[in-house]
């Protein structure tokens, strides 16, 4: 791709009172519910009862400023509080995730309770009944709690960042032990307040890197941490430090590299909105879409018009005294975004989330927050998809050419994008791995393994990569499959199930005296290989396609990989198999 700055797109919009106005070409209509107004919290969608409809989890402050955490069952568009007796929390976050790999979504919530005490709760879902676990996780508010599998063992771990009370900055990972307990992982992550974290494989090496932004040591920073198979290294970037907002990795220009969206307050407490393109060499370049700054809110990405390109909505406090905004941008298919004429309610201390709650094949929009009169609002917009212009999304095809490769005690599972998928990596994938046919004891998908219906309305559990490195396997037979998720968040059927048998004997062993050293790895072009005796080698990709084949001589050998596309390759030197990352 060309690394040139996009020109400013002067897309002016007026910041005025918080009301809904119908414009010609309106894409959304208000859908009435009995859900009360919430603000200073969050929402997330999942089909917790497996009835085919996405249900809603919500936390935050009600109109009387008291915290509440609730689950609303969606019965064909009628939302009913299930009275789950969850502890009310505000000024935090809420997220669904399957912590025990049993196929149903559990719940992670953090924030301040009614006694102004910071709390982090994990609730296990057992057939629709939610039980609070005794995890002994530290309480967090003014930040967030997020699920992520940072060590690629197939179990969702937890990352916490924020204030534990009295301005005590905190950030830490907690490893899922697979038995409903979590152990602190001391990985040297900076503590932060007014913080936000996002996870994505920005360097395409098969593990989840993450971006941490917020008040770190009395000033706002944005720190990018590269994941090297469970260990993290801070990477120097030009990403602006912001706090009290939101961040997200996603491939906005569809060049197979994850870019960065950031919003929040800058050092002068002025709301800001920043976008940075991933140049593919570890560097990020800012570009502009004409978006006014926002903080104390979030943005959410989905293909709301079903054209195969990701769009986004953003909401929160805008520059100026009392100013607030909610704005919808659609992808112009040329690497940037244009503002939609759709009018949405302006909110502050707000949160936006997408979900196809009515199962009609398009993304609907939920907003919570405070309006201009200071009232708490929960507003659900039904997507009407302009007649004659857009068509409802259809179920995409499944991934193809499933394959596996062993690397020591790890296995690398790979696949190709489904037929007809548009270019770029706005597609994501759900991986299922079990020890019996159809099982998911090792890694559970965020969807129904039979129908493919999404249980969690989000990107798949391996995000946008077309491979996954599953670590530290035990000997035995494994069964696996993968599902594609389109930009409009429609799940395919799972691909035909595959199997592999793992045996430690002879896997990844090096013969005495035949040590192989490879550097630099990752590489942007030149790769050095040092061996003690002459050996044959070949370089292949995840699908087994061969790129190089020759014989290495004793000493240091040099390969030029500059012509290869960035991604993961395997260097086979005699009996040794070495993963090589091309940037």
Give me Rg for the CA atoms of the chain: 24
Structure tokens at 484: 């594609």
Q: How far is the CA of 508 from the CAs of 75, 116, 467, 520, in angstroms?
A: 52, 53, 19, 20
C-alpha 364/C-alpha 526 separation (Å) is 48
Domains of the chain: 36-295 (2.130.10.130), 296-393 (no CATH), 400-502 (2.60.40.10), 517-582 (2.60.40.10)
Query: Using CA atoms, how far apart are residues 442 and 365, in angstroms rounded to an integer?
Result: 33
Please provide the DSSP assignment of 223-258 as one string.
Answer: EEEEEETTEEEEE---PPP-EEEEEEEE-TT-SSS-
Closest CA to 139 of 189, 102, 96, 87: 87
User: What does the CA dihedral 451, 72, 377, 454 come to, rounded to 10 degrees?
Assistant: -10
**Residue 582 neighbours by CB distance under 10 Å:** 22
Q: Which residues of 283-307 are buried (b: 16+ CB within 10 A; e: fewer)?
A: ebeebebbbbbbbbbbbbbbbbbbb
pLDDT of residue 361: 84
Q: Which residue positions in the chain have pLDDT lower than 50?
A: 1-25, 386-388, 506-513
Q: What is the pLDDT of residue 16?
A: 35
Say how far apart CA 202 and CA 213 lie, in whole Å. Answer: 16
Burial class (CB in 10 A: 0-12, 13-18, 19+), 448: middle
Give the pLDDT score at 167: 85
Q: Pick the closest to residue 366 from 438, 417, 298, 452 (CA basis).
A: 298
Which residues make Cβ contacts (< 8 Å) with residue 34, sequence separation at least 6?
79
Cα-to-chain-centroid distance, residue 3: 25
Are 104 and 110 a contacting pair, CB within 8 Å?
no
Question: What's the pLDDT score for residue 470?
Answer: 87
Query: 3-class SS at 545?
Result: coil
């Amino acid at each position: 791709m060309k690394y040139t700055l996009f020109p400013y797109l002067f897309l002016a919009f007026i910041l005025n009172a918080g009301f809904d106005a119908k414009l010609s070409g309106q894409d959304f209509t208000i859908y009435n519910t009995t859900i009360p107004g919430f603000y200073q919290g969050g929402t997330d969608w999942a089909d917790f009862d497996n009835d085919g409809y996405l249900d809603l989890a919500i936390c935050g402050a009600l109109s009387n400023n008291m915290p509440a955490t609730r689950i609303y069952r969606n019965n064909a568009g009628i939302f009913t509080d299930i009275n789950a007796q969850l502890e009310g929390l505000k000024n935090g976050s809420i997220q669904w995730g399957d912590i025990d790999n049993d196929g149903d979504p559990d719940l992670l919530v953090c924030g301040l309770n009614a006694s102004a005490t910071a709390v982090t709760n994990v609730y296990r879902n057992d057939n629709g009944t939610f039980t609070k676990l005794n995890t002994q996780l530290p309480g967090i508010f003014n930040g967030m709690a997020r699920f992520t599998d940072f060590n690629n063992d197939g179990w969702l771990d937890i990352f916490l960042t924020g204030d534990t009370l009295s301005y005590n900055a905190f950030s830490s990972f907690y490893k899922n032990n697979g038995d409903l307990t979590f152990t602190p992982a001391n990985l040297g992550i900076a503590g932060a307040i007014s913080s936000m974290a996002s996870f994505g494989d920005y360097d395409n090496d098969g593990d989840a890197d993450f971006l941490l932004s917020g008040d770190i040591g009395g000033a706002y920073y944005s720190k990018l941490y590269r994941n090297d198979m469970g260990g993290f290294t801070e990477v120097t970037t030009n990403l602006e430090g912001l706090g009290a907002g939101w961040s997200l990795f996603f491939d906005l220009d569809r060049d197979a590299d994850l870019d960065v969206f950031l919003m929040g307050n800058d050092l002068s407490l002025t709301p800001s909105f920043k976008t940075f393109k991933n140049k593919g060499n570890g560097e990020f370049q800012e570009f502009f879409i004409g978006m006014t700054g926002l903080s104390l809110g979030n943005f959410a990405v989905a293909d709301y018009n079903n054209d195969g390109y990701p769009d986004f909505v953003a909401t929160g406090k805008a520059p100026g005294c009392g100013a607030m905004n909610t704005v919808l941008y659609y992808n112009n298919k040329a690497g940037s975004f244009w503002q939609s004429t759709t009018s949405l309610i302006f909110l502050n201390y707000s949160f936006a989330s997408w979900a196809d709650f009515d199962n009609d094949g398009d993304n609907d929009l939920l907003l919570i927050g405070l309006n201009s009169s200071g009232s708490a609002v929960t507003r659900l917009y039904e997507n009407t998809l302009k007649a004659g212009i857009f068509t409802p999304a259809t179920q995409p095809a499944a991934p193809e050419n499933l394959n596996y490769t062993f690397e020591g005690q790890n296995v690398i599972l790979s696949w190709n994008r489904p037929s007809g998928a548009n270019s770029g990596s706005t597609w994501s994938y759900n991986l299922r791995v079990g020890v019996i046919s159809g099982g998911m004891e090792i890694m559970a998908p965020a969807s129904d393994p039979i129908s493919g219906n999404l249980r969690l309305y989000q990107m798949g559990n391996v995000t946008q990569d077309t491979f996954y490195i599953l670590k530290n396997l035990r000997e035995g037979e494994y069964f696996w499959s993968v599902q594609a998720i389109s930009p409009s968040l429609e799940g395919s059927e799972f691909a035909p199930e595959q199997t592999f048998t793992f045996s430690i004997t002879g896997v990844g062993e090096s013969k005495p005296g035949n040590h192989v050293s490879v550097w630099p790895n990752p590489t942007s072009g030149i790769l050095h290989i040092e061996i003690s005796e002459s050996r044959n080698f070949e370089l292949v990709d995840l699908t087994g396609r061969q790129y190089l084949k020759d014989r290495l001589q004793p000493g240091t050998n040099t390969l030029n990989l500059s012509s290869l596309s960035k991604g993961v390759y395997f260097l086979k030197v005699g009996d040794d198999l070495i993963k090589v990352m091309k940037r």
